[in-house]
Chain A
Amino acid sequence: SQTIHQWPATLVQPVGSPLSLECTVEGTSNPNLYWYRQAAGRGLQLLFYSVGIGQISSEVPQNLSASRPQDRQFILSSKKLLLSDSGFYLCAWTRTGTGRRDTQYFGPGTRLTVL
């Protein structure tokens, strides 16, 4: 069966520090991968998605970036965190080529607090 992992579960970082959040999927090959941010009062915002290794589509211009160094690994990064980067970050996956119809499976999320 397929599983999706995210770490860390919680993170407290000072403003201006770097960020690296990791997401990995097991039990499937070549998934579509997604990063979302869930902020209070703002719903679920798609940040990045990837349909293959090295292929990243950015949805929202910001100081975050994403990378997909391996087939089932998706990383969210920042060189310098802002207070506004605080939130709950969710990773999700779908089967290849079926993103528009197939279920999105979500990870447990990372709670990021920037102080």
Chain B
Amino acid sequence: AQRVTQPEKLLSVFKGAPVELKCNYSYSGSPELFWYVQYSRQRLQLLLRHISRESIKGFTADLNKGETSFHLKKPFAQEEDSAMYYCALVSSGAQKLVFGQGTRLTINP
């Protein structure tokens, strides 16, 4: 079964410090992975996807198939990064996303 695990429900770091939001997945095939973000009073929206290998708002995420992880990282956190972050997986041939439980990130000034 496909599963996405985000072990940290809450994460708090200081402004300027590095941040890493953990995501592990369970899937035997070749998954496609995404990070979605929900800022306060805004809609849930796509942050980045692994297939694009892009950096959005300073965030990057590398797919590690050996460790089945897709951790989200940013070297220097900013206050506007405070939000709810969801890791999600799409399995081959599927029409749907499987989401993790989410991590609420708080950046302290």
A90 near B96: Cβ-Cβ < 8 Å: no
If A104-B46, A106-B45 touch, does A43 touch B99 (CB 8 Å cutoff)? yes
Task: Let me know if B93 is at the binding interface, CB within 8 A.
Answer: yes
Nearest CB in chain B: distance from A36 CB, A: 8
B46 / chain A contacts, CB cutoff of 8 Å: 103-104
Task: Let me know if B32 is at the binding interface, CB within 8 A.
Answer: yes
A100 near B90: Cβ-Cβ < 8 Å: yes
A92 / chain B contacts, CB cutoff of 8 Å: 44
In whole angstroms, what is the CA distance A34 to B43 when docked? 15
Task: Let me know if A114 is at the binding interface, CB within 8 A.
Answer: no
B95 near A100: Cβ-Cβ < 8 Å: yes
B102 / chain A contacts, CB cutoff of 8 Å: 43-44
Q: What size tier do the contact residues of chain B reach?
A: 20 to 34
Q: Taking chain B's interface residues, is the majority helix, strand, or loop, or is none over half, making it mixed? A: loop
B51 near A43: Cβ-Cβ < 8 Å: no
In whole angstroms, what is the CA distance A100 to B49 when docked? 12
Q: Taking chain A's interface residues, is the majority helix, strand, or loop, or is none over half, making it mixed? A: strand
B43 near A108: Cβ-Cβ < 8 Å: yes
B99 near A101: Cβ-Cβ < 8 Å: no
A101 near B51: Cβ-Cβ < 8 Å: yes
A42 near B101: Cβ-Cβ < 8 Å: yes
- Interface membership of chain A positions 86-110, coded 1 if the CB is closer than 8 angstroms to chain B and 0 otherwise: 0000101000000111011111110
Nearest CB in chain B: distance from A95 CB, A: 11
Q: Report which of B92, B95, B99 forms a contact with A32, defined as CB distance below 8 A.
A: B95
Nearest CB in chain A: distance from B53 CB, A: 14
Residues of B whose CB lies within 8 Å of any CB of A are: 6, 9, 32, 36, 43-46, 49, 51, 86, 90-102
